[in-house]
Every structure is written in C-alpha cells, then in structure tokens.
Structure 1
C-alpha cells in the first residue's frame, strides 16, 4: 500500500510539472535560455553614414533600461552590436560572427539597404530572423521570398508615392528634379515618385550620386541648370546637408523635398544651417521630441526621462534617437508576445502578428500592424515643414501603399 501511495504521488508530481506552463512550455533556440536573450545588431559606427550610429546607441540604452526594470518575462537582453563601416562585405562578416560565434537568437535593426541585402539570403537560409531592418527598401517586406526578413519604417516606394500625391495637389504645374543615392533604395524613391506622378508633372532631371562622393556640388549645379523648381533630395544626411548648403551658395531657392531618412533637425537642419534649411518639406511618422509644443506630451516626457538616465550624451534634437527608441519598443513587444517560446520560428510568428500597436512617439493616428502576408509595420506618414526651429505637421495622414505590394 505504501509503495502504491508513493507511486501515485510520483505520477501526480509529474503531471503537475507537465501542466505547469512555466516549466512545460519553455522552448529555446540558440540565443535564448531561462535568463537571457541574445540579440545581434550591425551599425555603421564609422564610415560615410556614421551619423546613423546614434540609432544603435539609443537601442543599446533602451535595452539597458528594460534590463534594469527586470528584463522581458524574467530574461535580460544581451545586445551585441558591431560596426560594419557601411561596407556590405564587412556586414556579411559581422552577421556570420553574430550567428555562428555569438549564437544570437536574431538579428535586429541592422542598418542600410545594401548591407542588409548582403546578409538577407544567409539569414533566410539559416532561418534566423532579420527583424525590423533599418532601411526603407520594399524588398524587406516580401514574406513569400524572404519569410525571415521584415522591415519597420515606411518604404521608399510608399514615401515616393506620398510625395507624388502631395505635389499633384499643391504644385501641379511645377518641374521636378531628383538627387538620389545610386543604390536600390535611391532608385526606389525615384521610381515611386515618377509612377505616382503618372506623367501629370514633368521630372526634368534625375541625378544620381555615390555614397563615396566627397561632394555633390556638380550634381546640384546640374539640377539647377535643368530648370527644376522642385527638388527631391533622396539622400542620406551628410549628402543632404551638402546639397542644401550648395543651393544656398548658388542663391537658388527651389521648393525642397527631403526624404524621411534625413528628416532630422540635429543630423541635417542644424549642420546645414537652421535659416538655410527653413521651409524644407518632408514626410514623417514620428514625433519630434525637441518641438516645444510637445513639452507636455506624456510620451515625450517619458522619452526625456529615458534619455536623461540612459543616454544623457545623446542629441535631443536628433530624431534618429526617437526612431531607435520606437523600434526597440517594437522589438520588446514582440519578445513579450513570445512568452516562454523563444524559438526563432515563434519570434517571426509574433513579429507577423502585431495588432494596432500604439507607441507614444509615433504621430497621432499611426499604428503598427503586421500579418503573415503584411511585413510592412508602419505604413502611414504625414507631410511636414521645417520652420527654422521645429518641424510642423501639414495636412492629413497619407499612405502610398499600392494594393498587392
């Protein structure tokens, strides 16, 4: 009888363990365990687009904040971020180091279109999530061909069409010139703008530049000579600053559209000169925390507290810090949704199952939504104008998303 009682107790004990979610449902892939989640990242901390490096620094600080608050479901984040100097060959090297050496669970927010294209097949072949890519290329929202890769911000294709909608409504008789980075994303901006204009406005100049060009003086002169009275700068921050300054030196005052990848007071408007940059139009999807009109906004106050404690040296006028903060928040949301199933498959499943996520530093009305067939988390934007001090919002929300894209 005593043996039978012991056997029953043992069986009941095993049943209790099996029924306990905290024990029975814990699943891990490389990079995750009971106490830690390893996340890999690749940033241009040096090189021609190093102005974006504040994004990686902000994300590092945000994960430090999360860890100080107890982590995610009791696990601390180990954020491993390497420099690739915006060199695709170096990106490949760093991705292999993160996956095969550090054994991270996923790659998060690596920056640059060409750099992410260089590692896209490698990560998909190994079924390692390439999440919330920091580049607006449309190809990073293609679950059919690259199910382990997902972007985050509105695509260049989306944004270019939004500018076309705005121009057709507000400047229908103007002539357009485009300065664009001669890589996939720059060409996407150009093609989307042209397709959105649909021949109703004339694009009189399409002038490329290379990321290694020391200046764009000759390109700006070509644009001026084209007779364009609207210039779209599909350019990275350093080049955007050069182009804005050169236009001022030539005493040339076209209407200037600036791609959102450079729409930052701290990274572009200040270096170009606040007075010189006055009047620049762009499209945005996040709040500018340096706007004095937002000083009482609860989300901005929360961001200010975060910056003061975890990234005090960060430039508060640089909206790339707000961007890094938002994307890190999105990553945390996905990991929380994962619960105790920290497999790579479940990470992607949760990333493709975000429903009406409202983050305080997104512009009002913009929510994050994804699905297994929708890998474009942020789809809407609002036109903005820099007034010499702050970035003003103009008109309604736009979406340039085309059905089937």
Structure 2
C-alpha cells in the first residue's frame, strides 16, 4: 500500500520540520518489519515542497496522478496544504492527519476526506489566552502572528479570552520575509509587557533577536508550532556575544499536547526512541518527531480498522469511528460530525532545553465553550508498539497513572 505526503525537506521550515517525514517513515518501517497491517506493507513516499505552496501543488498532483497513492498522510503546513485540500477531496483521496492546526480541516460536509491532527490554533489560542489572562492581569499584551490562517485562527482564540483593552499592538509578518524589525519596534514602542506569537520557529528566533537588539524585556508566549526548544537553540546560536543560545530561551511560556522527548520514563518516549534507534539512527527525538510518530501510530490504527481489503471509503469510515489511542494528554475529536484532531494542550515553560509542564492539560472547543482541565490519565502504547484497531483495544487503550497501567476504558469523545 502506497501513501504519500508533502514535507519541507529544504527551505525556510526545514530546520524545524525537516525530520517529520523521515520520523514517520521510521515508524512505518518498524510496522513493516513486524508484518505490516493485515499483511500489507506500507510504502511511504514523502516529497519535498520546501514549504512553498506552488511546489506543494505539483508534488501532491504527482503523488496522486503518477504514484497512485491510496491516501495522503500528514501533509505539513497551513499555507501549503490549503492549496491542495480541495483537489484531494475532489479526487476522493483520503487526506489524513494534516500536520497543521488550522481549524479549516474540520469541515466534514465540505471536506469529507480531510481530517486534522494537532490541536487547532483556535483552541490553542483560547488555552494560551486563558493562561495569559490569569497569570498577567492588568499587563499590556502584544500579538505577533503569521499573516495566514495560522495567525488568524490563533488571534481568534486569543481574542475569546483576552480583553481588547489589554491589547496594545497587533503585528503580522509575511512568511518568507525575515525582516521583522518594523513590527518588533512597534511592539517595543507600545511598551508591551507580554508578546504572544503564533507562527514558526524561524520567526520566534528572529523575534528573540530583535528583543536583544532593543533591550526589550517583554515575556514571550509562543504557540507550540513556534517553540521547539532544540530548534530555537540552533537558530539562536551566535545571537548574543554575552549569553548562550540556551539561556536566551529560558522562561518562554508555550504549550504542548504530547510528552516531551526528554521524559525518558514515559512509555511512548521509550517506544519512539527504540524505533528511531533501529530504523533511523541519524534522527533525534524532538517535539516534531514525537508528533510525527504519534500521527503514524494513529494512521496504523485506522488502517487496522479499515479491514484486510481496505477501500478509501472504509479508511474514512474508520477515521470517523474514532476511539484512537495516542500519546496526547487530551482526547482526539474524530467523529462523523467532527474531523478535528487534538482537543487541548498543556501549558509549560522552557527550562534548559525542554518544556516543563505546569498544571493539568486543558481542553476546550473552537467556539465559545469554557477552557477547563482534563483530568483522565493518559494512555500507554501497545506492548509491541503495533496497535490493533480501536474496537479491539477498547477504544482508548490502557489508561495509566504515573507510567503504570490502571485499567482499560473508552476515551471520552
């Protein structure tokens, strides 16, 4: 079975996301080494689009029309994938677990073959906004966002929680233009106490560099898409003659939906480390590779549920049936009426080169519902790392306390 994807193997986003495709392939290689899914091997072809929407169109058309892929899996990027989503649905190609938090993927009527994956930016904005409102009362807030759906969705969520009177500056940047001096100067002149950003790591690093130039001390709050600590350290090397790159990211507030790569006690991290060591030893375990392998784990469950002779429709039906086990701290939202992925995140601060979580996971909707704690314990992977169909694993897997299985129960939906 051949599946395909578009990934930024070169270009602006490659330093943050270049390992996403290879990490998923490592998981599929692991599954293939254990007999595949219903005896079928997964042939995963991911092509380089350099995070360029024009190139995305050409590589996806090649995958569909020449390589005859059964499905597109984990296509990365909001500005890129929005250029091919209508095409994939018109061709009735399953478009699963898009690597983007755009709320636009959750549209079963218009886009019946498309399913999101990571917590959408509206929900994430609400959760970050609720934290900012509680933690920085009376402070002056500035927005710095990517000028596309990433930023617009993030602002939508933030504005549901943060009062308009608190916002002293709203600045956007164009992907591809690294000169953000005018925007950060405007934020500095507005005397913002907190800068909240939705975007990608390259611009988070540029933001931090501009703060250094201006002597700006505002607290940074970054979306999870912008805040991988290892990537930020690489991008900030040499930014200051007086401080190390690692010291420049200390105390940044961000959020995440998954266990951190440094958490060696976590059973998912142990599994993914083992798989990379066996099938892609040149890759490092990062937040991006953990996210990628998590999506591959879900995809295998969907294939299991689609049956020994899967069709594109049976794969879509399996996705809508939901009940998947995954490493995330909150449930996935898949159903016939929702093609959303993650339903929440967890707030933390960057400490050293990892994200240290604070408090419980938080969950919400993409409307006006409350932001509230999600207290059910997380899940463990299957014993051999190869999941069965959700119906065969009680649709939720073995829930656990602190790394010990407690009991099986269906995950809330």
TM-score, structure 2 as length reference: 0.84
Of 178, 193, 208, the residue aligned with 1:214 is 178
Deviation >4 Å, runs of 4+: none
Picking from 301, 325, 332, the partner of 1:358 is 325
Partner of 2:279: 310
For 1:301 and 1:116, the matched residues in 2 are separated by 31
Aligned to 1:274: 246
Q: Structure 2 residue aligned with 1:258, among 213, 222, 236?
A: 222
* Number of corresponding residues: 360
* Residue equivalent to 1:112: 77
Question: Distance between the aligned counterparts of 2:3 and 2:348, measured in 1?
Answer: 34
- Aligned twin of 2:299: 331
Aligned residue among 360, 384, 392 for 1:396? 360
Shift of 1:170: 1.5
For residues 356 and 225 of structure 2, what CA distance do their matches in structure 1 show? Answer: 17
- Equivalent of residue 288 in structure 2, options 320, 323, 332: 320
State whether residues 153 and 377 of structure 1, in contact with CA within 8 Å, keep that contact through their aligned partners in structure 2: yes
Choose the corresponding residue for 2:210, options 243, 246, 252: 246
Aligned runs of 1:220-239 on 2, under 5 Å?
Answer: 220-239=184-203
Structure 2 vs 1, CA of residues 78 and 68 (structure 1 numbering), >3 Å: closer, same or farther? Answer: same
Q: Residue in 1 aligned with 2:3? A: 39
- Residues 175 and 229 in structure 1, CA contact (< 8 A), matched pair in contact too: yes
* Deviations 1:172-227 (CA, angstroms, capped at 9, x unpaired): 2111111111112212112221232243x511111111111133233222211111
TM-superposition CA deviations, 1:49-99 (whole Å, max 9, x none): 112121111111111111111111100001111111122121111111111
2:116 and 2:50 mapped to 1: Cα distance?
A: 21
Q: What's the CA shift for 1:403? A: 5.0
Q: Secondary structure at the match of 2:177?
A: coil
Unpaired stretches in structure 2, ≥5 consecutive residues:
237-244, 370-413
When the two structures are superposed, what TM-score results if normalisation uses the length of structure 1? 0.85
Q: Aligned match of 1:197 in 140, 162, 173? A: 162
Q: In the alignment, is residue 177 of structure 1 matched against residue 146 of structure 2?
A: no
* Gap change, CA 1:329 and 1:245, over 3 Å in 2: same
Q: Over aligned residue pairs, what C-alpha RMSD do you find?
A: 1.6
Bigger helix share:
1
